């Protein structure tokens, strides 16, 4: 089973706090193990940790990570680096190959990404070759990587769970 960890780069504290928190929560809900944030932002870390405490699982969020060090360390250990960019190879053409890898670092950039990232990545991958959002790109990428199996995962040590319903909000305290 492939492991995926996110590396969020280009995050601007304050301005990007909400979007980066969404990136982290989407990563968690769609099967990633954790997120490295290449910037110091305790607000993002706190928001994500609060969700983990309440909703369970072992997703981690670490800020203040140096991106070049993170990428090179990942590669030195034999891991695969995927950079999500609208300029990359379209996901249907590469996902089968990436799914064979054991450890995937998924780089999710904000608006400006250093050109160096394209060269450091093993795969530059696009979701549709159209402009949209790093959140939607990451979501589709992870869902394809895990073939939808992540959608029914159980989260150990949750304090609350949703009872799926067509009629309203039903939850159970665990």
3-class DSSP state of 86: strand
**Cα–Cα–Cα angle for 151, 157, 160, nearest 5°?**
70
Residues 6+ apart with CB under 8 A from 1: none
Residues 169 and 166: their CA atoms lie apart, in Å, by 9
Closest CA to 6 of 88, 103, 99, 77: 103
Sort strands 171-173 and 160-162 into parallel, antiparallel or unpaired. antiparallel
- Kindly tell me which of 58 and 66 has the beta carbon lying closer to a second copy: 58
- Rounded to a whole number of angstroms, the minimum distance from the CB of residue 168 to a second copy is 5
- Kindly tell me which of 66 and 97 has the beta carbon lying closer to a second copy: 97
- Rounded to a whole number of angstroms, the minimum distance from the CB of residue 163 to a second copy is 8
- Rounded to a whole number of angstroms, the minimum distance from the CB of residue 57 to a second copy is 9
- Kindly tell me which of 63 and 88 has the beta carbon lying closer to a second copy: 88
Contacting positions for a second copy (CB under 8 A) = 18-19, 22, 25-26, 28-30, 51, 55, 86-93, 115, 118-119, 123-124, 126-133, 135-140, 143-144, 148, 150-153, 155, 161-162, 164-171
- Kindly tell me which of 66 and 173 has the beta carbon lying closer to a second copy: 173
- Rounded to a whole number of angstroms, the minimum distance from the CB of residue 70 to a second copy is 21
Sign of the CA dihedral 3, 128, 45, 12? positive
């Amino acid at each position: 089973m492939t492991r995926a960890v996110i590396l969020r780069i280009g995050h601007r504290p304050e301005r990007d706090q909400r979007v980066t928190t969404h990136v982290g929560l989407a990563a968690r809900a769609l099967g990633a193990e954790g997120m490295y944030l290449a910037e110091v932002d305790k607000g993002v870390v706190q928001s994500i940790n609060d969700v983990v405490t309440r909703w369970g699982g072992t997703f981690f969020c670490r800020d203040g990570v140096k991106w070049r060090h993170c990428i090179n360390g990942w590669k030195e250990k034999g891991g695969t680096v995927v950079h999500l960019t609208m300029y990359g190879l379209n996901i249907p053409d590469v996902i089968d190959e990436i799914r064979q890898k054991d450890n995937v670092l998924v780089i999710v950039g904000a608006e400006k990404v250093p050109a160096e990232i394209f060269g450091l990545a093993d795969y530059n991958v696009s979701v549709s070759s159209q402009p949209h959002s790093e959140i939607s790109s990451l979501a589709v990428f992870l869902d394809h990587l895990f073939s939808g199996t992540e959608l029914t995962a159980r989260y150990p040590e949750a304090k609350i769970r949703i009872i799926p319903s067509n009629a309203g909000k039903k939850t159970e305290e665990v």
